[in-house]
Structures are given as C-alpha cells and as structure tokens.
Amino acid sequence: MTYLALLTMHNLALLSDWLSEQGELWVDVHLPHSAASSDQYFINSLEDLRTLLQEVQWPEIALTIKRLNPYQIAGRVDSMLMDAALQSIPERAPFSIVALPSRYPSRCELLGSGTGHEQLRQLLVQLNGREVGVGSDPTAYDPEERTRTGDNFVLTLTKNNNHYEPFAANPERYDWIRSLWLGR
C-alpha cells in the first residue's frame, strides 16, 4: 500500500516551494483507528516525504504538513528560552516540547506537553540545559487554522472507509464501477 497517489502534482509543487523557502517542513502522520497516536517528523526534501509515505502500512492516514516549524522557540533551556516561550504561547493554549535536533528518518521525540503557563514553566525547569523546540501544540485542533492560507497553511489528506467486505469477497461484481469511474 502506498499513499503517494494522494499527493497531486499541485500539492508536490507547493511542498517543493515550501521546502525551498523554509529548508524543512513539519509532518504529522496520524493513523486513524490504530492504537498509536500520530508520529511527527521534520523533513528536508521531497525524497524524505516520499520515503515516509512509502513506509506507511495502515489502511487509513491523515497527513498534515505545516509550512512553518511549529517549534519556533528553540535552543538550550535557560531563563531566556523560558521567557520567550511564556511570552509566545498564550496562557491557556496547549503546548508541546520536542527534543532537538530532529530530522527524518527519526521521529520527533516529545519531551512534554500540557496547557497553561504553570505546566510549561514546570516542564522547562525539568528540562533545563536540554536542546528543545517549544511551541503551541501543532496537533491541537484550531478551526481558524483550516482557513488560513499564509504562513500557517495546513495540508491534510485523509483516506478512510477504504474497506468494504462485499467488495473484498467478490470484486468482480463491481467491475462496472471500475469501468465507469476509471474509464477501464
């Protein structure tokens, strides 16, 4: 199974331009109805994305790619980084912290997440001296984010409900649909 066909040439051109501008993209691979949560990666090329999508072996996928790194506050945890994080992340916003550096094929290592400045402060104190990226949680749902087209554009591709037992048992019964739909 491969999900390469889900990305059109228009999508790939857009992602290529984003990579040229940013140097990396944040990718979240969520496998609906699996026991696992999503896996996050930083990719540096379309080849990375291609390899990642070829490795997915699950019947459903939700793929989110963000143009801007959601962990813009990055560096060794100290008082300056903590101040920057507390100023950047709204008081009641969900946040997450990842280990840096992080590059595909390695997954982003989540070091902590939570909501509110007190939890953020506590986690950063525990991580003092570590290289981290901090930001508003990129996996938290933001309805406005779906309509923005600027720096925070989100591309989500989902393939689901792709198993129908009657078809699996007797695909010939549905040959007419293949002819109609695919022109074959």
DSSP of 15-78, one letter per residue? HHHHHHHHS-EEEEEE-TTSSS--EEEEE-SHHHHHHHHHH--SS-EEEEEESS-S--EEEE-S
C-alpha–C-alpha distance, residues 15 and 51, integer Å: 15
Q: Write out the chain's pLDDT in tens, 184 residues.
A: 578 877 778 888 888 988 989 999 999 998 888 887 789 999 999 999 999 999 998 888 888 888 889 999 999 999 999 999 999 999 999 999 999 999 999 999 999 999 999 999 999 999 999 999 999 998 876 655 544 445 555 556 565 555 677 888 888 888 877 777 766 6
pLDDT, position 25: 94
Task: List the structure tokens of 15.
Answer: 């992602």
C-alpha–C-alpha distance, residues 161 and 167, integer Å: 13
What DSSP character marks residue 118?
A: H
* Inter-CA distances, 19 with 6, 90, 113, Å: 19, 28, 27
pLDDT, position 110: 95
Enter the pTM of the model: 0.79
**CB atoms closer than 10 angstroms to residue 113:** 16
Task: List the structure tokens of 90.
Answer: 């709204």
